[in-house]
Amino acid sequence: MNILILSAGTRNKVVQYFKKAVGIDGKVIATDCSNLAPAVYEADKFYLVPRITAPGYLDRILDICKKEKIDGVFSLIDPELNLLAKERNKFLAVGTTPVISPYELVETCFDKYKMYQLLLKMGIPTGKCYVDKESFYAALEKGEISYPVFVKPVKGSASININKVTCSEEIEVLFKLYDDLMIQEFMDGQEYGADVYIDMISGKCTSVFVKKKIKMRAGETDKSVSVKDEGLFDLLQKFVEKCGFCGMIDIDIFEINGVYYISEVNPRFGGGYPHAYESGVDMPVQVLNNLAGRENSVSIGNYEEGICMMKYNEIGIVKLKEEEIVQ
């Protein structure tokens, strides 16, 4: 089984986990637009590719799939997810299966206001959101929401341009500086993350791993501890199956006064997935099973509580001539 990991970046652990899963009979290929992306050096082979917005990018990836006889492909960054989903048939035509949810669902995840509307429609608790200042100010006047609030891009990732604000003056400045912003209720509660797998054949949710977030850094979980809650397991299982997700999903949740609120959904491996893997939730094996035409059995919450994850800095060393460096 041959796997292609796009935009590998710094996600060394994901590459390592898939190398272990494919074993000696398969290979893991990685790509990135920079040869200073440390994760590509963990792969069996890597390709330096253009940025995803460059003309001919898709053709380049498809050529790699054909040349390396890739069975399954996935990306580790949000901007590339809709490309994989939208061009699914082109990948299938060269014998490669994109490990990604349906296109419309991926687009909904990337548009935070659309996800908010979907959660409301499904009756799932979530923080209030407003895409125009006037609606927010009206709700503020009625006492339906109060400061502080978050101002963030409707479409964005990695916590870029997210600001916690406490007054209208700050909101006015941010809306002048940036386009396509939304105002989101400040969720003053305990934050959790869930790593979820939905079988690509049966459509059933087969794995749910929940971690209590202790510390965040640059939008990713830096320290966390594994927890279990049957009510939350049930909520997440019904949500992902009803929506029609498939493959790996990363979900952000807040708990306030005993109620769980879904905040964001990312249809990819989350930055904190290594916590799940090291606790025994092996999603790479589930991916390989599906690519081989095998359904995975349901094993939700099959891990121990109290397992802590602590990220720390490491370095990678590679010898390159100055003219060879691509940033």
Q: What are phi and psi of 319, to 5 degrees?
A: -95, 120
List the chain domain ranges. Answer: 2-100, 128-185, 188-310
Q: Are 158 and 219 in contact (CB under 8 A)?
A: yes
**Would residue 257 be called left, alpha or beta, if left means φ above 0 and alpha means ψ between -120 and 50 degrees?**
left
The stretch 224-229 carries a mean pLDDT of: 98
Per-residue pLDDT reduced to its tens digit, 123-150? 999 999 999 999 999 999 999 999 999 9
- Indicate if the pLDDT at residue 271 is higher than 80: yes
- Which contacts (CB < 8 Å, 24+ apart) does range 42-48 have? 42/12, 42/15, 42/16, 43/5, 43/8, 43/15, 43/19, 44/19, 46/8, 48/326
Q: Which of 237, 238, 212, 234 is nearest to 225 (CA)?
A: 212
Indicate the fold that domain 188-310 takes in CATH.
D-amino Acid Aminotransferase; Chain A, domain 1 (3.30.470)
Pairing of strands 2-6, 27-32: parallel
> What is the structure's pLDDT at 65?
98
Kindly indicate whether the domain formed by 128-185 is annotated with CATH number 3.30.300.130.
no
- Indicate if the pLDDT at residue 21 is higher than 90: yes
Lowest mean pLDDT among 7-11, 19-23, 96-100, 220-224: 220-224
Q: Are 248 and 60 in contact (CB under 8 A)?
A: no
The residue written with tokens 């060879």 in the block is: 324
- Same fold flag, 128-185 and 188-310: no
CA of 168: how far to CAs of 138, 162, 173, 176, 187, in Å? Answer: 12, 16, 9, 12, 19
Amino acid at 296: N
> What is the structure's pLDDT at 64?
98
Per-residue pLDDT reduced to its tens digit, 152-208? 999 876 556 788 999 999 999 999 999 899 999 999 999 999 999 999 999 999 999
25 class by beta-carbon count within 10 Å (0-12 exposed, 13-18 middle, 19+ buried): exposed
Average model confidence (pLDDT) for the chain? 95
Under DSSP, the state recorded for 94 is: T
Pairing of strands 129-130, 181-185: antiparallel
Q: What is the edge-to-edge ordering of all strands in the sheet holding 190-198? A: 259-266, 247-256, 190-198, 205-217, 220-227, 308-310
> What is the structure's pLDDT at 327?
87
At residue 221 the predicted structure's pLDDT band, cuts being 50, 70 and 90, is: confident
Is the full-model pTM beyond 0.75?
A: yes
- Structure tokens belonging to residue 277: 């893997």
> What is the structure's pLDDT at 69?
98
Indicate the fold that domain 2-100 takes in CATH.
Rossmann fold (3.40.50)
At residue 36 the predicted structure's pLDDT band, cuts being 50, 70 and 90, is: very high
> What is the structure's pLDDT at 14?
98
143 class by beta-carbon count within 10 Å (0-12 exposed, 13-18 middle, 19+ buried): exposed
